[in-house]
Structure 1
Amino acid sequence: MKRLTLILTALLVSTFILAGCSDDKDETKESDNNVVNEENNDGKDNDSDKGSSEITTEDQLDLKLGDTGKFDTTLGTYEMTVESAELLEELDGVESEFDYLILINLSIKNTSDHDLDVEDLMYSMEVTDNIKGSGHPDQAHNFESVKELTGIIKPGEEISGQFITHAYESDEYYFREMEGNVAGGVSNQVIWTISADEAK
């Protein structure tokens, strides 16, 4: 009887030991799987980073009339030259909502390897009299005599047109990429400073 009790006790102890080892192996497998999954996730993250377009062109913050700015955006790359600007009190019978209308003559050259929709490029531009404040978008579609920039521009091609918007009286105006796009990583920042004297 004692012998049978000893055998049963030994069997129970062996069973507990084997169960404990099995749990350890499962935990080891789980932790190994976690490491593999983390490595796979890291790999996926890296791949997605490589797939996203990276803005590499430097900001150009001190351009003047006549200067060409280089844009590096998620839509593509292009160059914009601001040729001249004019402050008007009214145009086509439309008076400024503020103090003036500012009319900007410019040209855009597509430096990408694919077509660009010029309207998409112009939607992102604005004029402000306060470099730290918000700006006013293009209103060319509201004026019959303004040459609105529209259509598709092919790689290597250049198009000319005009930007017009309402503006307050100021000594200087800033024509630039919208700040929200720059903050969101959509484009580098390009800013032309236009003095009121140059635009009169």
Structure 2
Amino acid sequence: MKKITLILTALLISTFMLVACSEDKDETKESDNNVVNEENNDGKDNEKVEKGDDSKNNDDDSGKSTSEITTEDQLDLTLGDTGKFDTTLGTYEVTLTSAKLLGSEYEGIKSQLDGFILFDIKVKNTSNVDLEIDDILVSLEVTDNPDGSGFGDASAAFDSVEGLTGTLKPDEELSGQFITEVYDADKYYFRTLSGIVEGGGSNQVIWTILADEAK
């Protein structure tokens, strides 16, 4: 009788242990499945986020008003010619109507170089956006060395010089003067700053003015 009781007890214990082990395996398997599902969901969520960010970036890029420079360089303009500028600001035209060398002193101001040169110019806005005259003027320079740097407008320093300022509406044009210091030379170049051209901000436009034409 005792043997039968022990055998039954052993069987019950074995059965209990088998059931417990089976439940543990099921719980472990379920836990592993949950982890895998969470990882997969995280991956999908991250993918959605990345796609969403890419889509947002693409939308941002498509909303930018990029300006591609398509107008050819004009390197051989002379007095009286009109240069066409294609820039990241917009498009415009500049006509150089006259040039005059003023000597080493003008209105009581002495040149730190050899003298001054004064240009009469006309600027026309050919784009469909407003353009600031100051932005146009700071992109222009005069030099006697085509491979060197030049000098910008100093019209604000002189009372009698009719400097250009203000805002140009589309199709609007304005006439005024541009003055700067120069070295003594046989010819001068009125042009777009080379740094702006090299940076892709504008096509290059150059007028060549002989010293004899500016007397």
TM-score, normalised to structure 1, is: 0.83
Query: How far is 1:149 from its partner?
Result: 0.9
1:160 to 171, 175, 185: 175
**Cα distance in 2, alignment partners of residues 171 and 12 from structure 1:** 98
Structure 1 residues 80 and 122: CA distance shift in structure 2, 3 A: same
**Cα distance in 2, alignment partners of residues 103 and 22 from structure 1:** 81
Task: Check the 8 A contact 2:124/2:174 in 1, yes or no.
Answer: yes
Structure 1 residues 59 and 99: CA distance shift in structure 2, 3 A: farther
**Cα distance in 1, alignment partners of residues 90 and 149 from structure 2:** 24
Query: How far is 1:61 from its partner?
Result: 4.5
**What amino acid is aligned across from residue 91 of structure 2 in structure 1?**
T
Alignment of 1:40-189 (within 5 A): 40-50=52-62, 51-65=64-78, 66-89=80-103, 90-182=105-197, 185-189=200-204
**Cα distance in 2, alignment partners of residues 157 and 25 from structure 1:** 65
Task: Check the 8 A contact 1:57/1:70 in 2, yes or no.
Answer: no
Report SS of the residue matched to 2:214: coil
Give % identity: 46
Pairs aligned (count): 200
TM-score, normalised to structure 2, is: 0.78
The structure that has the greater radius of gyration is 2
Structure 1 residues 163 and 33: CA distance shift in structure 2, 3 A: same
Is residue 205 of structure 2 the alignment partner of residue 190 of structure 1?
A: yes
**Cα distance in 2, alignment partners of residues 132 and 41 from structure 1:** 46
Structure holding more helix per residue: 2
